[in-house]
Structure 1
C-alpha cells in the first residue's frame, strides 16, 4: 500500500495582498503527475485544505478540481478537517464527494466507527485502515468544569484527546478482525492528527490552536499505529526522531520564514508487517519568496540575487529588513529605487531596530508570574543551537521532571 501524505494547503490564502491561486493550480498539476509516476494508491490530506472557514470561490474550485482529477485517476482521497477549516464548509459536500472516491472527516464524531476508514489499493483490495482523526475541538470531547486551574484544563484536554485516539484505534482493531477472514494478512493501521506535538518546530504562519489549554500533545499518547500522519506544523519533520510519526509540512511556503525550507510531500509504503519506507518528494518552488536583510549598500547585492529567482511574468516576492539605515524616514522610497528594473516585488519592509525594540519592550514588560515553567525552558532552549531531535529529547525530559515535581507537591 502506498499513501501520499500531505497537509496544510491553505487554499485561498491571501498573502500580503497576493493571491496564491496560480501556485496552487501548479501544485495540483504537479501532485497529479507524482500520483501517476509513483503509482500512489491513495492520497491523505491531514487538515487545513482551506485557509479560512469561508474560502473564496476559486479555492473551492481548486479543491473540486483535485477531487475530480484523482477520481479520474482511480485514486481515493481522504480529507481531514484542520483548525483553519470550517466543519460546516467541509461537510456540506461530504456526501456528494463520497460518490467521487473522496472521504471527508471534517470533525470528530460521537460514533467513532465512522472515523475508521479502509483505504483501498489501486487493485481494489483493502490496503490499510485509517484512524481518521481531524483537528479535535475541545468542545467536541471535553466538558469544562468550574474551578479548574490552567494546568488542570490542559491535562483534561490532553486526556480527552488521548481517549478519543484510543477509542478510534480500538474500533480500527475491531474492523481489522472483521476483515481477517477475507484477507491473506493483517492490514496496517495509520493514524492521523492535526495538532502540535511535543518537540515539533513551527513557523510564524502556524497559529496556536489550544491557547492556554494544551501546549503540545506527547508522542506517547498516540495509539500504537504503524504510521501517524500529522498536519498543522508547516515544516516537514520527524517527531522526536521517530520514523513513523511525521509532519509532511505545507507544500507551499506560507510565510517568509518558511521561504528557505524545502517543501515536500511524503510517500508512505506499508504492508502486512507495518511501515516499510517513507520517501520525501521535494515540491518545486512555484513562486519566488525571499527574505533579505542588511544596510542599503549590502541590500543591492541581496536584491540582485533574489531577482535571479523571478521573471517579468512572475517576479520574486520580497521581505526587506533594513539594518543600520533603518532610521531613515524615506526608507520605502529608497527600497523602491534599489529594486527598480529588477523582477522583484516588495511585499513588506521591516526596520530592524524597531523590531528589536518591540521585542525588548515586550520581554521587559513580562514577569515570571506571566510565564509557565515550560515557557521559561523553551526560551532558554531558543538560545542554543540544537538539533530537532535534541530539543525534543530535552523537552520530553523537562516535562517529565516538572510533572514529577508537581506530583510530589500534590
Structure 2
C-alpha cells in the first residue's frame, strides 16, 4: 500500500496581492504525474485545502478538477478540513465526491464511525484503516464549564483531543481485528504538536486555549499524517509522526528549505519506507538583506534575468538612520528589473533602536497623537512597491486612530 501525504495547499491564497493560481496549477500537475509514476494507492490532504472559508471560484474549480483527474489514476483521495477551511464549503460537495472515491471529513462534528473507514488499494482490496481527524474545534469535543481558569480550559481541551484520538484508534483496532487482514492504521491531524518549528504564515489555531498538543497524546498508529505546520518535519523524534509541510512557500521565511510531500509505503501493517519527495519551485522568490549599498549590488544580477514571470522579493534594509524615503529609493533601484518587491521592511534591530529611543521619553512629555505618530514611524506597510497605496493606508490608519481617540476623550468628559 502506497500513501502520499500532503497538506496546507491554501488554494486561492493572495500573497501580497499576487495570485498563487499558476503555482498551484503547476503543483497539481506535478503531483498527478508523481501519483501515476509511483502508482500511489491513496493521497491524504491533511487540512487547509483552501486559504479562506470563501475561496474564489477558480480555487473551487481547481479543487474539483483535481478530484476528477486523480480518479482517472484509480487513486483514493482523502480531504481533511483545516482551520482555514469552511466546514460548509467542504461539505457542500461531499456526497458527490463520495461517488468519485473521495472521502471528505470537514469536522469532528459527525459520528465516530464516520471518522474511521477503510481505504482500498488499486486492486480494490482493503489497504489501510484511516482515523480521519481534521482540525478539531473545541465545541465539537468539549463542553465548557463556568468558572474554569484559562489553564483548566487548556488542560480540558488537550484531554478531550487525546480521548478523541484514542476512541477512534480503538474503533480502528476493532475493525482490523474483525477483518482478519494485516493492514496499517493511519491517523491524521491538523494542529500544532509541541516541539515543532513554525513559520510566519502559520496562525495560532488555539489562541488562548491550547498552545500545542503533546505528542504522547497521539495513539500508536502505524503512521500519523499531520497538517497546519508549513515546514516538513518529524514530531517528537518519531519517524512515523510527520508534517509534510505546504507544497509552496506561503511566506518569505519559508524559503531556503525544500518543500515536500511524503511517500509512505507499507508491507502489511508495517511501515516499510518513508520517502520525502521534494516539490519543484514554480515561482522565483528571494529575500535580500543588508544595507542599501549591498542590496543595490545584489539587485544587479537581475539585469539579465529573463524568466517568464518576475522574481518576487522581500527586501529587509539594515540602516542606523531612519530613512523616510526608503520605499522611493527601493523603487528607483528596482526600476527596469524583472522583479516585484512584495515586502519591504526595516531590520528588526533598527526598529528596536527606534523603540528604545521612544521609551526614553516619558508619556507626560508627549501627546497621544505624538505617541501614535512615533509608533507609526516604526511600521512598514506591506503594499508592495505602490507608494500611493501606502499613503492611502496611512491615511486610513490615522483616521481610525483619530476616531478612537475622540470616542475615548468623549467618554472621559462624561465620567
**Do these two structures clear the TM 0.5 threshold for a shared fold by scoring above it?**
yes
Taking the TM superposition and a 5 Å limit, the aligned residue runs for 1:319-398 are 319-324=314-319, 327-352=322-347, 355-357=351-353
For the 8 Å contact 1:293–1:323, the answer to whether it is kept is: yes
Q: Equivalent residue for 2:30?
A: 30
RMSD: 2.0
- Give, in whole Å, the separation in 2 of the partners of 1:178 and 1:3: 23
**336-345 vs 250-259, greater mean Cα deviation:** 336-345
- Give, in whole Å, the separation in 2 of the partners of 1:169 and 1:363: 54
Distance 1:153 1:179, change over 3 A: same
- Give, in whole Å, the separation in 2 of the partners of 1:165 and 1:123: 29
Task: Look up the SS of the partner of 1:63 in the other structure.
Answer: helix
Q: CA deviation at 1:113?
A: 1.0
In structure 1, runs of 5+ residues without a counterpart are 365-410
Aligned length: 359
- Give, in whole Å, the separation in 2 of the partners of 1:275 and 1:268: 7
- Give, in whole Å, the separation in 2 of the partners of 1:361 and 1:179: 70
Taking the TM superposition and a 5 Å limit, the aligned residue runs for 1:87-106 are 87-106=87-106
Q: CA deviation at 1:354?
A: 5.2
TM-score, normalised with respect to structure 2? 0.83
- Give, in whole Å, the separation in 1 of the partners of 2:42 and 2:132: 14
Q: Equivalent residue for 1:54?
A: 54
- Give, in whole Å, the separation in 2 of the partners of 1:176 and 1:61: 37
For the 8 Å contact 1:307–1:316, the answer to whether it is kept is: no
- Give, in whole Å, the separation in 1 of the partners of 2:87 and 2:109: 11
Once the two structures are superposed, residues 297-348 of structure 1 have per-residue CA deviations (whole angstroms, 9 ceiling, x without a partner) of 100232345678x645211101111111662222112112221232211011
Distance 1:194 1:328, change over 3 A: same
For the 8 Å contact 1:307–1:344, the answer to whether it is kept is: no
Once the two structures are superposed, residues 83-117 of structure 1 have per-residue CA deviations (whole angstroms, 9 ceiling, x without a partner) of 00011000010000011111000001442011112
Q: Equivalent residue for 1:251?
A: 247
In structure 2, runs of 5+ residues without a counterpart are 361-415
Distance 1:306 1:169, change over 3 A: farther
**340-349 vs 282-291, greater mean Cα deviation:** 340-349
- Give, in whole Å, the separation in 1 of the partners of 2:356 and 2:283: 34
**44-53 vs 296-305, greater mean Cα deviation:** 296-305
For the 8 Å contact 2:320–2:350, the answer to whether it is kept is: no
Q: Equivalent residue for 1:380?
A: none
For the 8 Å contact 1:320–1:349, the answer to whether it is kept is: yes
- Give, in whole Å, the separation in 2 of the partners of 1:323 and 1:332: 14
Q: CA deviation at 1:242?
A: 1.1
Task: Look up the SS of the partner of 1:73 in the other structure.
Answer: coil
For the 8 Å contact 1:3–1:267, the answer to whether it is kept is: yes
- Give, in whole Å, the separation in 2 of the partners of 1:206 and 1:243: 23
Task: Look up the SS of the partner of 1:268 in the other structure.
Answer: strand
Matched, 1:300 2:296: yes
Q: Equivalent residue for 1:86?
A: 86
Q: Equivalent residue for 2:21?
A: 21
For the 8 Å contact 1:150–1:213, the answer to whether it is kept is: yes
